[in-house]
Amino acid sequence: AQSVTQLDSHVSVSEGTPVLLRCNYSSSYSPSLFWYVQHPNKGLQLLLKYTSAATLVKGINGFEAEFKKSETSFHLTKPSAHMSDAAEYFCVVSESGGSYIPTFGRGTSLIVHP
Amino acid sequence: ETGVTQSPTHLIKTRGQQVTLRCSSQSGHNTVSWYQQALGQGPQFIFQYYREEENGRGNFPPRFSGLQFPNYSSELNVNALELDDSALYLCASSSGPVDDYGYTFGSGTRLTVV
């Protein structure tokens, strides 16, 4: 079985400061991991994905995430927040060799202050 | 601009009625999934279709049903609507295994049941 836990429901940062959104996962198989972003009244957009290649994954808009198997984590980071980054972020796990059905976390709301 | 189009964007129905939501995916996207996203929650998987056959289903009752057509369009049907069915319904498609390619999401249909 697979599951994903986003450790923070809300994260608040100032513009220009680093962003850290935390995600832990559980999977019986080799996981594929994703981060999606959802702006208000919009659908979800894929930020980045890990599919057993490099453990440090670079995505769009300056975001990156590091897969740490020993910690079962896939935290999302960005060196410098921009006002346009304010949105809901979802961590997603999908089991290669398992059900292939992605499981979404509950989401982290990123708030960016001027 | 997303390649997945959903209609209608908003819908109000009365408890007990039936509703059909529609999705048009990108050409070549043989996998389509439907998700329910309640307010403040992450998307919950309803079911997935691959080449017009259902190949995965989440924890939703049989009154939630779907169809996928050869022209990459699909439908979500919900019978006997309940107040708790009020949510954003998201269609997502993929050109290959979801754990390799990730999803392309539509902007969703906001269903309100009164």
Q: What digits encode the pLDDT tens for the residues A67-84?
A: 999 999 999 999 999 999
Higher per-residue pLDDT: A100 or B32: B32
The per-residue pLDDT for range A34-93, each reduced to its tens digit, is 999 999 877 899 999 998 778 899 999 999 999 999 999 999 999 999 999 999 999 999
Indicate yes or no: CB of B108 within 8 angstroms of CB of A43. yes
Indicate yes or no: CB of B105 within 8 angstroms of CB of A49. no
Q: Whose CA is closest to A96, among A49, A34, A46, A52? A: A52
Compare CB distances from B56 to A36, A42, A99 and report the shortest one's residue: A99
The one-letter amino acid code at A12 reads S
**Residue from B25, B46, B99 to probe the interface with A (highest A Cβ count within 10 Å):** B99
Q: Is B96 an interface residue toward A (CB < 8 Å)? A: no
Q: Which residues 6+ apart lie within 8 Å of A53 measured at CB?
A: none
Strand B87-94 versus strand B104-105 pairing type? antiparallel
Beta bridge partners of A7: none
Indicate yes or no: CB of B92 within 8 angstroms of CB of A44. yes
- Distance between CA B77 and CA B54 in Å, rounded? 14
First vs last C-alpha separation in chain A: 41
